[in-house]
Structure 1
Amino acid sequence: MIPGIDHWRLRVLPALLVGGIGGAVFALLHIPLAWMLGALFATTLAALAGFRLDVPNTLRAPLVVVLGVLVGSWFTPDMAGHVGRWWPSLLALVPYIAITTVVTALWFVKAVRYDPITAFFCAAPGGFSEMVLAGERAGGDLRRIALIHAIRVLVAVSLLPGFAWIMEAEGAGSASLSMPVAGPYDLVLLVLCGVVGGTLGAVLRLPAGPLLGGMVVSGAAHMAGLVHGAPPFWSVALAQLVIGAAAGCRFTGTDPRMVLRTLGDSVLSTTLMLLLAGLAAWTLHLLTGLPFPALLLAFIPGGVAETSLIAIVLAIDPAFVATHHILRIAIIVVAVPPAWQLWARLRRPRAGGR
């Protein structure tokens, strides 16, 4: 038996089984986003208990492409007029990211005594993999940066059920898809959109490439009127399961004691980020008249896939939410490492003069 098959049998299939059990339990409890959150919590607990679990990118990426195609289904022909209203909130991402990073980095340095490098790369409101790699290259604490960002996503996503209940109570969204399911002909075209978009996203190394590629190609096809409808709803549940299990598997091989030591720091820093996101969303709502629920979900520092899923489930303009999150990640990936290098160069002469 080749090693690849052993890996799938011993680590991937158990991860999906554990995630599926967690999702089923959460579904029985009628918790919003049951399959994603159930899989996330079940695999996180199993990983911290010492089980070696894994959801490889070869499995996650196609499901993220499906999610991108699904988000692209909201780019309807009559939507072009609405996109023009997004520019104030899209531009606001730049000061939001800058303020959030600086404020959170200062909190890490002053309140919990992190070294400046680790604090800076822990403070970025997104870009999990990129911040870990850039922080390690800069000389930061690799494990701490990875844990802070992993727990940030876990905490932000875990708060989404409460967000979902509030939105449903206020009538801001629906717990089911409002987009009609595509027919057989359209499904074939959607598969083609996914293959082309996912390939382009990977080849061009775009931020959140599989999701962005699938979303752009699917959105273009929908806006041109070539395709109508969305993939079947079961694909959303499957995407929830795989994406949730993949997030939980990030804790495989991590010392539970280190997680506990870092948990408080990450929860408090994530709470600070969420407060800043809420302030930004409310300010933009007052200035632009854009819906507060959509703005809040667009600015929450969670994962692109996870926040897109709740937007789909609650029918809170998934195209608006996904576009903001993808741009947020792109800005962070492009701007944060050079910003650190510039800040470090400016510090050197002053430090040398002491």
Structure 2
Amino acid sequence: MMKFYKVLFLAVALLVGGLFSSIGVPAGWLLGGLLTGIFYGLFIRAFDFSGWPFQMALALVGINIGLIMEPDLFQQLAQYLLPLFITLVLTLLTGLFLGILLDRWTSLDRQTAFFCTIPGGASEVIAISSDYGADQRIVASFHTARITMFVLIIPFGIGMIYGEGNEQAQAVTQMLPTALQVSFFGLIIVGSYVLNRFVSFPGGILIFSIAFGFLGSEFIVNIGEVPEYVSGIGQGLIGAMVGIRFERSTVVRLRSIGVASLKVLGLYLLCSLGVALLFFWLTPLSYLTSLLSTVPAGAAEMASTAVALQIEPTLVASLHIIRVISIFLVLPFLFKWLMKD
């Protein structure tokens, strides 16, 4: 019975996402799914989509990114590594600084305050936080609020400025995927999931699905033009699964922290806008692309946003994966240093 309610919820989220997209709401699939998830979590009931359901949705988004990936991406990435390193250091320092503030402004222990503000992948940070002695429930609530805030504000704000879509994209929205396309997506989703079980690291399934989608379509088989709503479904699923995490217990735990949680979240947003501005100055990219590439709002969420708004999705996803992996490499050293008296 629980599975039926989960499927019903996802169907409603996709229906709302499709409706939002059809009436021209910026990143309509993503925002429609996100708002439906928030409403369900707060007023109806919450569901847990961690594990394979979220990974499958992420793989669906990754394949769509791989299909539009250009071979010269790696040459592009090389010129952005130094600016990315500079902004990555600043993002880490921002997270440390905000963690110190949260530690001083609240009664939280230092471990929990630190893990609440780490600008890494939310799912990975939440998963390992208890291993370091942090309160996993508070960490999950804070990261859920941070991701929800960014995913609500950034797609809508960028969409209002930049716009999205084009006539050609709209012309293929009524097409049905071919048997070849369905088989192509199914094989890559399953293959990426299985490979990620054996070779697991932050953002792994996103990397695998992007790589398989690119290599498969570029060198193995021509699957033709995929209907736009296929990508939209992936975005809607990501939005729904992220949004429903923001449920009543999240609000209760954030309220227990007090006004300090709102202050830290507000500072997170302002600092992220500033870091994006620096990345914009250091690269030839637009500010909107810089913002999507550097804001600590999750590789999956920002990759979905970039796909929805058609703003350099392969570049955005690649830079976020580099950021997340780099943070997890230095995390043990940061934690050891921070916990010293």
Smaller-chain TM-score range?
A: 0.7 to 0.9
**Separation in 1, partners of 2:112, 2:262:** 16
Match of 1:147 in 2: 141
Q: Root-mean-square deviation (CA), in Å?
A: 3.2
Farther-moved stretch of structure 1 (270-279 vs 49-58): 49-58
Indicate the SS of the match to 2:197.
helix
AA at the equivalent of 2:249? T
C-alpha displacement at 1:155, in angstroms?
0.3
Q: CA deviation at 1:177?
A: 8.1
* Superposition deviation, residue 250 in structure 1: 1.9
Distance 1:272 1:341, change over 3 A: same
CA 1:262–1:43 in structure 2 vs 1: closer, same or farther (change >3 Å)? farther
Decide which of 220, 237, 244 is 1:242's aligned counterpart. Answer: 237
- Could you tell which deviates more after superposition, 50-59 or 151-160? 50-59
Q: In the alignment, which residue of structure 1 is the partner of 2:98?
A: 104
* Percentage of matched positions with identical amino acids: 23
- CA separation in 2, counterparts of 1:295 and 1:137? 33
2:124 to 126, 130, 134: 130
Deviation at 1:229? 5.6
**TM-score, with structure 2 as normaliser:** 0.84
CA offset at residue 264 of structure 1?
5.0
When residues 58 and 116 of structure 1 are mapped into structure 2, their CA distance, relative to the original with a 3 A threshold, is closer
- Return the match for 2:290 from 286, 295, 303: 295
Query: Is the Cα–Cα contact under 8 Å of residues 302 and 317 in structure 2 kept in the other structure?
Result: yes
Amino acid at match of 1:48: L
How far off is 1:204 after superposition? 0.4
TM-aligned CA deviation for residue 118 of structure 1: 1.4
Secondary structure at the counterpart of residue 53 of structure 1: coil
| CA displacement at 1:51 relative to structure 2 | 1.8
Query: Which aligned pairs between 1:157-176 and structure 2 lie closer than 5 A?
Result: 157-159=151-153, 160-168=155-163, 174=165
Q: Alignment length, in residue pairs? A: 336
Query: Partners in 2 of 1:158 and 1:33 — Cα distance?
Result: 10
Whole-angstrom CA distance in 2 between matches of 1:139 and 1:56: 21
In the other structure, the counterpart of 2:192 is 197
1:156 aligns with 2:150: yes
Q: Which residue of 2 aligns with 1:258?
A: 253
Shift of the 61–48 alpha-carbon distance from structure 1 to 2, 3 Å rule, reads same
- Quote the Cα distance in structure 1 between the aligned partners of 2:75 and 2:288: 20
Pairwise CA distance, 1:185: 5.5
Of 275, 279, 282, which residue of structure 1 is paired with 2:277? 282
Kindly state the Cα deviation for residue 56 of structure 1 after the two structures are TM-superposed.
Answer: 5.5
Task: Sort the Cα spacing of 1:278 and 1:193 in 2 relative to 1 into closer, same or farther, 3 A.
Answer: same
* CA 1:148–1:28: 2 relative to 1, 3 Å: same
Aligned AA (1:144): I
Quick one: which of 308, 316, 327 aligns to 1:332?
327
* Deviation sequence 1:193-241 (CA, Å, 0-9, x none): 4443333233201212221210122234456586576643111221122
Displacement of 1:278:
2.3
Matched, 1:89 2:107: no
| Structure 1 gaps, min length 5 | 1-5, 348-354
Q: SS in structure 1 opposite 2:202? A: coil
Which of the pair has the greater relative contact order for Cα pairs under 8 Å at 6+ separation?
A: 2
Are positions 1:217 and 2:212 aligned together?
A: yes
In 2 relative to 1, CA 174–274 (structure 1 residues): closer, same or farther, beyond 3 Å? farther
Can you list the C-alpha shifts for 1:150-181, whole angstroms capped at 9, x where unaligned? 0101000000201221123xxxx646887998
Query: Residues 64-97 of structure 1, C-alpha deviation per residue, up to 9 Å, x if partnerless?
Result: 1121111112322344543332222332353133
1:97–1:124: 8 Å Cα contact kept in structure 2? no
1:333 Cα deviation after fit: 2.6
Match of 1:321 among 316, 324, 328: 316
- Kept in 1, the 8 Å contact 2:87–2:279? The answer is no
* Structure-2 change in CA distance of 1:78 and 1:299 (3 Å): closer
Q: 1:269 aligns with which of 264, 267, 273?
A: 264
Query: How far 1:27 moved relative to its partner?
Result: 4.3
Bigger radius of gyration: 1
Partners of 1:91 and 1:144 in 2: CA distance: 29
